Amino acid sequence: MDEAVKMYELQRVDLTRMKVVRRLQQLQALLGESDELRSARQQVAQAEAELREWNAKQKNAELEDKSLAERIKSTEERLMSGVVRNAKELEALQQSLEALRRHRETVAEEGVKAMTEAETLAEQLEGYRSALASLESGWNGNQTELREEETKLKHNGALLQRKREQLAAGMGETLRDRYETMRKRKAGVAIASVQNGICSACHVAIPTGVVNGLRGATTLVICPSCGRYLVPSNS
């Protein structure tokens, strides 16, 4: 029975270790940026780039408007100055003035369009930024928790590993081999406790004779139903 108790102890540690390993694997997948966060970041970056473009267009329109205004002014002055008297030349100046004015109108329209676009985009961008901020704060909080859990689990895992080494060292090679062999064959559960005459692994009732013989047994007893080693319930 002593052997069964030792084996059961080791299994308890191994099962806990497996849980720790599985959870650590889950955490690996959870740590890092989510797709949602990545796409929110992209949305902000894209809107910012577009906004810069429209702002630049607006700025260009303003500069062009200024230079056109100057050219219009000097053309008007030349027309009014009386220096040019030749009719053809005057007509050409007049035409050039009209062309400049038309061009200025077009530029002004472009400027207004750029301004309107920039305003709409700036508003959208504000929305995108606040959505990103709330995602980020949720993500940061979550990541901190997950990192803390990871640290704790790694620590526990190391403790369990040490515990396992101690238990395995106190077992003897034959018993250890029996445990490892059975564990591989029986989905990680080599030994089962008997509770109210029932095997805790396969949930089948064990004959009374086997149950009664368990406490005083000097060798390992096997469940007649699932073939695992057995240990009394309060071990």
Residue bearing tokens 């780039």: 49
Write each residue from 83 to 122 as x if it is in contact with Zn ion (CB under 5 A), else as -, in one continuous string. ----------------------------------------
Options 11-19, 100-108, 158-166, 225-233: segment touching Zn ion (CB under 5 A): 225-233
Q: Is 225 a residue that touches Zn ion (CB under 5 A)?
A: yes
Which of the residues 186 through 205 are near Zn ion (CB under 5 A)? 199, 201-202
Residue with tokens 């303003």: 62
How far apart, in whole angstroms, are the C-alpha atoms of residue 11 and residue 28? 26
Q: At what angle do helices 2-30 and 173-185 cross, to 10 degrees?
A: 50
Residues contacting Zn ion: total by CB under 5 A: 6
Strand partners, 192: 230
Burial class (CB in 10 A: 0-12, 13-18, 19+), 159: middle
Part of the chain binding Zn ion (CB under 5 A), chosen from 62-70, 109-117, 181-189, 220-228 = 220-228
Question: Which residue number, 10 or 182, has a Cβ lying nearer to Zn ion?
Answer: 182
Specify burial of residue 234 (Cβ count, 10 A radius: 0-12, 13-18, 19+): exposed
Structure tokens at 59: 């700025």
Nearer to Zn ion, 20 or 199 (CB): 199
Residue closer to Zn ion, measured from CB, 168 or 211: 211
C-beta of 183: minimal distance to Zn ion in Å? 14
The nearer residue to Zn ion, 32 or 213, going by C-beta atoms, is 213
CA distances from 206 to 6, 46, 163, 193 (A): 22, 69, 32, 11
> 1: which 2 tokens?
């029975």
How near is the Cβ of 199 to Zn ion at its closest, in Å?
3
- Smallest distance from the beta carbon of 215 to Zn ion, in angstroms? 18
Measured from the CB atom, is 10 or 206 closer to Zn ion?
206
* Identity of the residue, 52 or 203, whose beta carbon is nearer to Zn ion in the bound complex: 203
Nearest approach in angstroms of CB 178 to Zn ion is: 16
Q: Which two tokens stand for residue 174?
A: 């034959």
The pair of structure tokens assigned to 81 is 């100055």
Residues in the site for Zn ion, rule: CB under 5 A? Answer: 199, 201-202, 223, 225-226
